[in-house]
Amino acid sequence: MSEGEYRAAPLHFANFLSSLLQETYAAIATYVGQQIGSEVVSSSGYSLDEFQAEQADVGFLCGLLYVHLRVSSADQVELLAAPVLRPERYQWQPRYFSDVVVRQDSAFKSFADLRGASWAYNEEASHSGYNLVQYSLLERQENASYFGHTVKSGAHLQSLQLVLDGQVDATAIDSHLLDVLLLRQPQLASQLRVIDALGPSTIPPSSRRGAYRKR
């Protein structure tokens, strides 16, 4: 494939975060395409194998996964940018929080109250849903046994549903995702309550696969 033909090919942006954020990242991809004069394609990514197999040029992915890719092979991925969220709590910095969420009628008032409680997490590869929670427990000289019972849900939205259904007491949610969810479903504000915030952490970045840089 010639250099000219490659430049004419659409840039493929893949979102490896929650599907709830797909519209947000598709808008970013469209904006980038307009600025550089290139056609873009946006999709929801299902596995980082797609990124590593050059099926996507730019990926929106969890910061923890970005770090893992950099450690395994620095040539695989390159940091491009990180979004800055508008709400005041983010202080115009590329950051987000892990919001600890319970039902509105729950007696829990902070993360420190959750000893022995039932807890949902999305997956071990998640920074906001798992890694930061484990770090916060270590800071308190605790470990996963701090919770009475833990459930792996598979996704942030499933974790929230378990809380809403009363199947678990609490969970930790990406604050960006929670912001978007409450904008789209404002009725949930009367059903859920944030009792603590872990972080802040650097927000999930947009990253370019290394192979694209070399072409």
What would the two tokens of residue 134 be? 């484990």
- CATH superfamily to which 89-202 belongs: Periplasmic binding protein-like II (3.40.190.10)
Reported as a pLDDT band with limits 50, 70 and 90, residue 214 is very low
- Summarize pLDDT for 160-195 with one digit per residue, the tens: 999 999 999 999 999 999 999 999 999 999 999 999
- Say if residues 118 and 149 touch (Cβ distance below 8 Å): yes
- Summarize pLDDT for 143-161 with one digit per residue, the tens: 989 999 999 999 999 999 9
- Say if residues 156 and 177 touch (Cβ distance below 8 Å): yes
What amino acid is encoded at 150 in this protein?
Answer: T
- Summarize pLDDT for 114-139 with one digit per residue, the tens: 999 999 999 998 999 999 999 999 99
Q: How far apart are CA 51 and CA 84, in angstroms?
A: 24
**Does 89-202 match 3-86+204-214 at the fold level?**
yes
Find out whether the peptide bond into 186 is cis, omega within 30 degrees of 0.
Answer: no
Residue 77's pLDDT is 81
Report the share of the chain in percent with pLDDT over 70: 91
Does domain 3-86+204-214 fall under CATH 3.40.190.10? My reply is yes
Residue 8's pLDDT is 58
Q: How far is CA 79 from CA 44, 115, 207, 209, in A?
A: 19, 38, 5, 9
The number of beta carbons lying within 10 Å of the beta carbon of residue 110 is: 9
Model confidence, pTM: 0.86
Residue carrying the six token digits 């969890």: 62
Reported as a pLDDT band with limits 50, 70 and 90, residue 64 is confident
Q: How far apart are CA 9 and CA 174, in angstroms?
A: 34
- Summarize pLDDT for 7-50 with one digit per residue, the tens: 558 889 999 899 999 999 999 999 999 998 989 999 988 877 77
Residue 211's pLDDT is 53
C-alpha distance across the termini of the chain, in Å: 10
Helices of type H across the chain: 3-8, 22-36, 48-52, 63-72, 132-139, 156-164, 175-184, 210-214
Domain locations in the chain as residue ranges: 3-86+204-214, 89-202
Residue 172's pLDDT is 99
Q: How far apart are CA 81 and CA 132, in angstroms?
A: 22
Rg (CA), the chain: 19
